[in-house]
Amino acid sequence: MLPVWNRNPAFTITRASHVVLTARDLDASAHFYTDVIGLVLTERDENTLYFRGLEEAAHHSLVIKRTTGDAQAERIGLRVQDASDIDKAAEYLNSRGIVTTEPDVPFQGRTLHFTDPVGNLMELCSSMDVVDRRMQEFHTFRSGQPQRIDHYQLVTHDVQTATDFYSDLGFRLAEYTATDGTEELWGSWLEVKGNTHDIVFTNGTGPRLHHFAYTVPDASCLIHAADVAGSLGFGDEIDRGPGRHGLSNALFLYLRDPDGHRVELFNTHYQFIDLETDPIRWDTSDPRRAQQWGMPASERWWFEASEFPGQPVQKPLLEASPITLESYLSVH
């Protein structure tokens, strides 16, 4: 069922902002994200790494914290317009029975934590320390030359509930996949910043973070990132691509970091602002939604993702078997 978009939500979310992960070896993470991906390491201390993209003026879009346990996804960050939105968000969420806390988070202004109805651990952030943009320091650009964080894909057992919740927070449906011949949602691509998605929900065992994504300047950066990954010994960690999605029309490359977290580099997607344009619908049986050419994604890409601490995963409500590389090759 298509969601009802709330154009006047209780508070204003402006964009996907940052992701917080845990990792077992910070030196390995620092090497991967600076040398293989090309992010800027803004700051590090004994237990934390803070990264940003080349054009970002915000202090961080990726935080990696040391853990001695399993590496997990700790928080999904969204920016709100200003500090007053933190109060409005707390009031709205509390009125729906959602518990909120307001922790002090380094390098961030007022910040609100909550767990969304499908179990994702979320963080609303009202401001961040400002640092210099590196977008014209071309001599420092490395590997994929990631410019800015763009979106997250979250695996959830209940796409409908997740889609309805974020639609009421002002997210607009840009594209979706549905069971053939129905409007039964298998995946939803939801945006607030004017292109096709800030958050994606796909049907599967969740809550889990499937990937977070950075934009790159052009397609050649994806090829160069793949070459750099290969030359630095991370060739096997290219999880999928290069290729072109049907959904959102982006060229993409996915890599796994030393702890198995998945990061996407992509050449951005199209504008989605005008109100008269309807969301694009794809049948789940249509392989061109996932890739316009080339082989389907591997089982590893479809089924492996990062869990959240203390959040038990649930089996999906919809039965769906994506076309994987392994299943494709078994019949071709």
Which positions touch Fe ion (CB under 5 A)?
A: 213, 264
**Least CB distance from residue 253 to Fe ion, whole Å?**
11
**Please, which residue, 111 or 306, has the CB nearer to Fe ion?**
306
**Least CB distance from residue 213 to Fe ion, whole Å?**
4
**Please, which residue, 13 or 247, has the CB nearer to Fe ion?**
247
**Please, which residue, 116 or 264, has the CB nearer to Fe ion?**
264
**Please, which residue, 213 or 216, has the CB nearer to Fe ion?**
213
**Least CB distance from residue 24 to Fe ion, whole Å?**
25
**Least CB distance from residue 268 to Fe ion, whole Å?**
11
Looking up tokens 């209780």 gives: 10
* Nearest residue relative to Fe ion (C-beta): 213
**Least CB distance from residue 153 to Fe ion, whole Å?**
5
**Please, which residue, 93 or 162, has the CB nearer to Fe ion?**
162
What secondary structure, in 3-state letters, does the chain show?
Answer: CCCCCCCCCCCCEEEEEEEEEEECCHHHHHHHHHHHHCCEEEEEECCEEEEECCCCCECCCEEEEECCCCCCEEEEEEEECCHHHHHHHHHHHHHCCCCEECCCCCCECCEEEEECCCCCEEEEECCECECCCCCCCHHHCCCCCCCCEEEEEEEECCHHHHHHHHHHCCCEEEEEEECCCCCCEEEEEEECCCECCCEEEEECCECEEEEEEEECCCHHHHHHHHHHHHHCCCHHHEEEEEEECCHHHCEEEEEECCCCCEEEEECCCCECCCCCCCCEEEECCCHHHCCCCCCCCCHHHHHCCEECCCCCCECCCCCCCCCCHHHHHHHC
**Least CB distance from residue 222 to Fe ion, whole Å?**
13
**Please, which residue, 9 or 204, has the CB nearer to Fe ion?**
204
Distance CA 53, CA 215 (A): 9
**Least CB distance from residue 47 to Fe ion, whole Å?**
29
**Token duo for residue 208:** 């889990």
Give Cβ neighbours of residue 244 (< 8 Å, ≥ 6 apart). 250, 251, 252, 291, 292, 293
**Least CB distance from residue 247 to Fe ion, whole Å?**
9
**Please, which residue, 178 or 209, has the CB nearer to Fe ion?**
209
**Please, which residue, 74 or 264, has the CB nearer to Fe ion?**
264
